[in-house]
């Protein structure tokens, strides 16, 4: 194992007593606690960390933060493998395992780098131009080829083994960014008692203070930082969240954040999530996210060893790593000089300082001399040497003369862009500041203020001043008395003069604007020539600003070059509208707990455990799990089971849970009037103690739901709805009451959860119930006729409700008890029905029997059918107004040949019917014009011993006896069926009344 040959002997914030082992592309290395993967790789002299997206060019670490476009790796392995992880923000842990991506067969020897040789074919827009023809080749040939050659990392392809969470927080002030401005803001607000949340994406708070050698109040900034953090931690209403990125700003003071709870560990700690997605509600927020440094576009600016000057400083000062032994600085302003100074102070050699500005002032000359660096005032870098690692640069001095200079680090300084992304998440447009030569926040979203560098206030003194002032204002906004504000701390002087250069012209070689997408200055020129000049077109044509970094280091250069091409200014050319998320967010953090079987809540009936005990197979019905069928040992085919269940009901008795039906208690003086208005049929005449089938429409005339409603008292009804529509119907009824007819006295509440309800069906149903219902209640046919609905007691005084209603066409009842007694009710009925062979049946058998009886259900109540379509037109009252009345009577809905409801049977009884098959006249072509309707429901009838179907066909009942094709091309079905009555079993209804 090679040592950390680029690690300084002392200095930095890493813990040299805690060495951590890690591997990159299978090779073992060692770093320290407090390192990022990038700093640890640099400490070990690893410069080449990845290959570029399109040309497979060698790439190294460009930055030291979230903007990194190059150093993307696959982190971890197996199911936890995560592609496109930025090495610059990946906290090192013991056992970390990372691999480079987008190379084949290896990072050092990448065959696909040949893409660079054919690069003229790969310029902007090449996908659109090259792979146009033939169209069929795109899916089969071009796309797979391109996907192999161009791309980023590989997804794990396995289920994520970790747990994720969502969480909600509320505060007076959210501070985004824990640098000097954010800390000062949190302190000012926190001291006055405000509820403050301070988020920072880093694992250490301090922001640039961690990376700079600065003084506050005459002492090293680290002392101020430590004291500030200590005070904040002691304020009870201040919550500090490190490793937490605020990624989005939403309406009404809502912020999205992701907390990386376990990303810095090999695996999350026991009982801990990997990440937690936060939704933070903030009365006020201060964006103190700092700034991102800008590269310069010049040929060869992507060789590993070209690095942002501020990042180089971070590696020296924070991580104790010298990013190169021999440095050349290429700067457009004063800030870059700090890098030269800090590198020299750390013992590194500064070979040259290339300051693109004209004649240097004496102070700069003196500093260059002191650092032992050659100074090229007014010079530029016009090329680099080196393949996998920088060997040297070509300098063009102010006179135009060029010279080569050996170096292994080129630090580039071109000023900073405020990290204003969140200010534009609600369409806020950034504005160009000519003096600062950068975009600064424009109109701000309500409740948001910006402090420090994020506002373009680049000095430390301004950051501290902004933070203290805005933090105090936020506290006052929350109605708190501001704490006595001490003087803003004094800072050492700093120079910020800048004359940015957007690119070095007149030299050969690829000059990259967008590293991550391999977009060069020539691509931007091409886009300009071909007319893709608006920024949105530029982005889509060249891919500039796309992918995981969203152009954090490239957007402005791209705009500047387009401005130059079109002879406009930068603000005339456009701005970037940033959208959430600020940095990539794992889907898991957004889903939280809700994945797999916890995707949404599952509802279980009070009889669920009993059904499970009976061996039920369950099916999802709305949110519910319902017993679908109850296979017995030896039954290997669901149809066998279902046939047995159906036959048992028709021959003896069966029971089926119906607790899942929606149940709405409707009371009030106007309850009957209300039902008149929401149902198509009449309700005022329904006697107490009786149930009636009801059908309700949407206002547009189509059927919404059906069910039985029972009158429990003069002004008291119990409505049932279908399982799937229960919530929707409740919402609809609330609408009718509160919005349409608030003057009615209606009081409604869902009682679906209160009752366990079971259908007891079959010729022996009454005998079975007789043994369960207390003897005081007469349930004889005379005393308890069809559609009776009354309170009874069971099990010696337990309140229950009994309804004589039937979906199966058999003598049938529904018995309801309070849910706590549901389990016992099932056991009591099973015992009572034992002599009659009582059989539990599920939704499948229920479906078979309702099709045998021609009852409509969800397949027919599909939102496209009117009562007339379903043969229920006679139910529509002509004497009263009700919802949907007028619209259901529209001409097109009452046309004679509108498809309406009938039954179908196969002419050859051995043939199987298929739901979804379309009807076509015999001898007619299978084209849309000949479509006459479709099959809605099918089942095998063990009673008839053949398949039967329900469906909608033009002309409907008038065509009974006619034959048509049931055409089902998807499943190669094309059979002849006969149109028949939808009632297949017991058309006289004798069984029902038995």
Partner 1 sequence: MAEIATVSTAVSWAPRGAWAGIAQPGSFGATGGAGVLATLLDGFGLATLIAAPGAAPALSRIVEARLGIALPQAPKIASGQAHDAIWAGPDQWLLRAASRDGFAGLLAELAPHGAVSDQSDARAAVRLSGPRVRDLLAKGVMLDLHPAAFAVGDVALTSIAHVGVQIWRLADGPDGSVFEILVPRSMAGSFWAWFTASAAEFGCAVTAAPVAGPR
Partner 2 sequence: MRITCPHCGARDAQEFTYLGAADLKRPDGMAATEAAMTDYVYQRENPAGTHRELWYHGAGCHAWLVVTRDTRNHAIAAVEAAKSRKTGAAA
Separation between Cα atoms, residue 637 and residue 213, nearest integer Å: 77
- Site of tokens 């009801």: 694
CB of 185 to partner 1, least distance (A): 20
Sign for the pseudo-dihedral over CA of 125, 129, 131, 136: positive
Query: What are the residues whose beta carbons fall under 8 Å from the beta carbon of 830, sequence distance 6 or more?
Result: 655, 838, 840
Single out the residue of 590, 598, 594 nearest to residue 259, CA to CA. 590
Separation between Cα atoms, residue 905 and residue 913, nearest integer Å: 8
Q: Which helix (H) or strand (E) holds 396?
A: strand 392-396
Bridge partners (DSSP) of residue 278 are 167, 257
Query: Which residue number, 663 or 804, has a Cβ lying nearer to partner 2?
Result: 663
CB of 161 to partner 1, least distance (A): 14
Query: Which residue number, 795 or 873, has a Cβ lying nearer to partner 1?
Result: 795
CB of 742 to partner 2, least distance (A): 5
Q: Which of 823, 844, 852, 869 binds partner 1 (CB under 8 A)?
A: 823
Choose the binding region for partner 1 from 2-10, 128-136, 167-175, 428-436 (rule: CB under 8 A).
167-175
Q: Contact residues for partner 2 (CB under 8 A)?
A: 250-254, 279, 281, 426, 446, 699-700, 727, 730-731, 734-735, 737-743, 880-881, 886-887, 889-890
Output the CA angle 686-690-694, nearest 5 degrees: 65
Separation between Cα atoms, residue 198 and residue 187, nearest integer Å: 10
3-state helix, strand, coil in the chain (%, to 5): 25, 30, 45
Query: Which residue number, 487 or 601, has a Cβ lying nearer to partner 1?
Result: 601
Q: Which of 476, 604, 875, 957 binds partner 1 (CB under 8 A)?
A: 604
- Site of tokens 């907390």: 259
Query: Which residue number, 599 or 735, has a Cβ lying nearer to partner 2?
Result: 735
Query: What are the residues whose beta carbons fall under 8 Å from the beta carbon of 927, sequence distance 6 or more?
Result: none
Strand stretches in 762-861, DSSP E: 789-794, 798-803, 812-818, 839-840
Separation between Cα atoms, residue 280 and residue 448, nearest integer Å: 13
Q: Which option in partner 2, partner 1, none does residue 735 bind, with CB closer than 5 to 8 A by kind? A: partner 2
Single out the residue of 856, 838, 950 nearest to residue 905, CA to CA. 950
CB of 930 to partner 2, least distance (A): 31
Choose the binding region for partner 1 from 140-148, 747-755, 850-858, 969-977 (rule: CB under 8 A).
747-755
Please check whether residue 608 is in contact with residue 756, taking contact to mean a CB–CB distance below 8 angstroms.
no
Contact status: 166 vs partner 1 (CB under 8 A): yes
| CB atoms near residue 370 (< 10 Å) | 10
Binding mask 561-600 for partner 1 (x = CB under 8 A): --------------------------------xx---x-x
Contact status: 820 vs partner 1 (CB under 8 A): yes
Single out the residue of 76, 126, 122 nearest to residue 101, CA to CA. 76
Separation between Cα atoms, residue 381 and residue 330, nearest integer Å: 7
Q: Which of 649, 772, 792, 838 binds partner 1 (CB under 8 A)?
A: 772
Single out the residue of 513, 509, 324 nearest to residue 414, CA to CA. 513
CB of 590 to partner 1, least distance (A): 14
CB of 897 to partner 2, least distance (A): 21
Chain residues 229-288 in contact with partner 1, contact rule CB under 8 A: 270-273, 279, 281
Choose the binding region for partner 1 from 143-151, 550-558, 601-609, 892-900 (rule: CB under 8 A).
601-609
Q: Which of 824, 887, 915, 983 binds partner 1 (CB under 8 A)?
A: 824
Helix ranges (DSSP H) in 192-304: 221-234
Separation between Cα atoms, residue 262 and residue 164, nearest integer Å: 10
Contact status: 347 vs partner 1 (CB under 8 A): no
CB of 561 to partner 2, least distance (A): 34
| DSSP one-letter code for 439 | E
Query: Which residue number, 214 or 274, has a Cβ lying nearer to partner 1?
Result: 274
Query: Which residue number, 5 or 864, has a Cβ lying nearer to partner 2?
Result: 864
Separation between Cα atoms, residue 64 and residue 503, nearest integer Å: 22
Query: Which residue number, 385 or 770, has a Cβ lying nearer to partner 1?
Result: 770
Q: Which option in partner 2, partner 1, none does residue 700 bind, with CB closer than 5 to 8 A by kind? A: partner 2
Q: Which of 19, 168, 490, 958 binds partner 1 (CB under 8 A)?
A: 168
Contact status: 688 vs partner 1 (CB under 8 A): no
CB of 641 to partner 1, least distance (A): 25
| DSSP one-letter code for 105 | B
Judged by the rule CB under 8 A, the positions of this chain that interact with partner 1 are 163, 165-170, 195, 270-273, 279, 281, 593-594, 598, 600-606, 609, 624, 665, 667-669, 745, 747-749, 751-755, 766-767, 770-772, 775, 778, 780-781, 794-796, 798-799, 818-824, 827-828, 831-832, 835, 994
């Amino acid at each position: 194992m090679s040592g950390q040959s680029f690690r300084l002997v002392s200095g930095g914030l890493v813990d040299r007593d805690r060495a951590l082992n890690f591997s990159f592309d299978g090779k073992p290395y060692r770093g320290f606690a407090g390192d990022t993967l990038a700093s640890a790789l640099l400490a070990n002299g690893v410069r080449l960390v990845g290959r570029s997206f399109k040309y497979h060019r060698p790439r190294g670490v460009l930055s030291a933060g979230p903007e990194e476009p190059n150093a993307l790796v696959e982190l971890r392995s197996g199911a936890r493998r995560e592609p496109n992880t930025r090495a610059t923000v990946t906290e090192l842990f013991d056992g970390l395992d990372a691999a480079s991506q987008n190379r084949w067969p290896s990072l050092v020897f990448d065959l696909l780098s040949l893409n660079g040789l054919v690069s003229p074919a790969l310029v902007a827009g090449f996908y659109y131009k090259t792979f146009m023809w033939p169209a069929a080749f795109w899916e089969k040939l071009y796309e797979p080829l391109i996907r192999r050659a161009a791309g980023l990392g590989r997804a794990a392809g396995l289920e994520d083994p970790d747990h994720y969470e969502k969480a909600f927080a509320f505060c007076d002030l959210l501070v985004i960014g824990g640098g000097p401005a954010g800390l000062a803001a949190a302190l000012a607000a926190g001291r006055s008692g405000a509820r403050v949340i301070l988020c920072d994406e880093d694992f250490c708070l301090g922001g640039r203070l961690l990376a700079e050698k600065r003084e506050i109040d005459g002492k090293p900034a680290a002392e101020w930082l430590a004291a500030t953090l200590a005070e904040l931690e002691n304020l009870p209403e201040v919550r500090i969240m490190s490793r937490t990125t605020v990624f989005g700003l939403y309406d009404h003071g809502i912020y999205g954040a992701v907390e990386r709870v376990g990303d810095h560990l090999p695996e999350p700690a026991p009982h801990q999530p990997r990440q937690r997605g936060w939704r933070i509600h903030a009365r006020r927020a201060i964006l103190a996210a700092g700034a991102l440094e800008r590269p310069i576009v010049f040929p060869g600016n992507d060789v590993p060893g070209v690095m942002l000057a501020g990042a180089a400083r971070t590696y020296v000062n924070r991580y104790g790593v010298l990013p190169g032994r021999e440095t050349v600085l290429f700067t457009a302003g004063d800030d870059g000089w700090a890098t030269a100074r800090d590198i020299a102070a750390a013992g590194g050699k500064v070979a040259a300082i290339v300051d693109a500005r004209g004649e240097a002032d004496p102070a700069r000359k003196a500093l260059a001399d002191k650092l032992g660096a050659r100074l090229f005032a007014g010079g530029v870098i016009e090329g680099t040497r080196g393949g996998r690692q920088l060997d040297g640069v070509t300098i063009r001095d102010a006179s135009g003369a060029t010279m080569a200079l050996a170096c292994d680090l080129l630090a580039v300084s071109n000023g900073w862009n405020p990290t204003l992304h969140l200010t534009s998440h609600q369409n806020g447009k950034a504005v160009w500041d000519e003096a600062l030569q950068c975009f600064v926040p424009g109109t701000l979203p309500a409740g948001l203020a910006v402090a420090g560098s994020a506002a373009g206030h680049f000095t430390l003194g301004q950051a501290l001043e902004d933070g203290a002032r805005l933090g105090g204002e936020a506290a006052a906004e929350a109605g708190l008395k501001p704490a006595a504000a001490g003087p803003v701390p004094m800072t050492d002087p700093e120079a910020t003069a800048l004359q940015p250069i957007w690119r070095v012209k007149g030299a050969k070689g690829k000059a990259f604007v967008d590293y991550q997408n391999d977009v060069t200055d020539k691509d931007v020129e091409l886009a300009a020539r071909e007319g893709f000049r608006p920024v949105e077109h530029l982005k889509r044509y060249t891919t500039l600003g796309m992918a995981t970094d969203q152009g954090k280091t490239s957007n402005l250069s791209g705009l500047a070059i387009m401005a130059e091409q079109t002879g406009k200014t930068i603000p005339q050319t456009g701005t970037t509208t940033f959208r959430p998320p600020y940095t990539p967010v794992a889907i898991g953090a957004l889903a939280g707990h809700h994945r797999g079987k916890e995707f949404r809540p599952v509802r279980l009936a009070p009889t669920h455990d009993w059904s499970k005990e009976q061996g039920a197979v369950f099916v999802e019905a709305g949110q519910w799990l319902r017993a679908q069928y109850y296979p017995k040992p030896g039954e290997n085919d669901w149809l066998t089971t279902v046939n047995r269940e159906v036959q048992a009901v028709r021959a003896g008795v069966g029971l089926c849970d119906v607790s899942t039906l929606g149940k709405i208690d409707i009371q009030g003086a106007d309850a009957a009037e209300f039902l008149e208005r929401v149902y198509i049929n009449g309700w005022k005449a329904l006697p107490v103690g009786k149930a009636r089938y009801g059908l309700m429409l949407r206002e547009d005339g189509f059927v919404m739901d059906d069910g039985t409603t029972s009158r429990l008292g003069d002004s008291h009804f119990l409505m049932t709805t279908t399982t799937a529509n229960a919530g929707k119907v409740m919402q609809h009824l609330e609408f009718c009451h509160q919005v349409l007819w608030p003057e009615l006295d209606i009081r409604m509440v869902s009682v679906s959860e209160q009752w366990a309800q079971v259908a007891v069906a079959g010729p022996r149903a009454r005998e079975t119930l007789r043994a369960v219902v207390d003897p005081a209640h007469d349930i004889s046919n005379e005393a308890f006729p069809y559609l009776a609905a009354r309170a009874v007691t069971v099990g010696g005084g337990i309140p229950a409700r009994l309804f004589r209603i039937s979906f199966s066409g058999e003598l049938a009842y529904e018995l309801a008890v309070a849910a706590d007694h549901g389990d016992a009710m099932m056991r009591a009925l099973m015992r009572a029905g034992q002599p009659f062979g009582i059989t539990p049946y599920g939704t499948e058998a229920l479906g078979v029997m309702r099709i045998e009886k021609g009852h409509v259900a969800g397949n027919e109540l599909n939102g496209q059918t009117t009562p007339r379509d379903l043969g229920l037109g006679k139910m529509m009252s002509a004497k009263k107004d009700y919802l949907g009345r007028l619209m259901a009577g529209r001409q097109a809905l009452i046309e004679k040949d509108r498809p309406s409801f009938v039954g179908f049977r196969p002419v050859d009884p051995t043939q199987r019917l298929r739901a979804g098959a379309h009807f076509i006249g015999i001898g007619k072509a299978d084209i849309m014009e000949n479509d006459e309707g479709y099959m809605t429901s099918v089942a095998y009838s063990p009673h008839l011993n053949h398949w039967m179907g329900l469906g909608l066909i033009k002309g409907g009942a008038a065509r009974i006896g006619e034959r048509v094709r049931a055409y089902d091309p998807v499943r190669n079905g094309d059979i002849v069926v006969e149109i028949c009555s939808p009632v297949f079993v017991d058309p006289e209804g004798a069984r029902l009344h038995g």
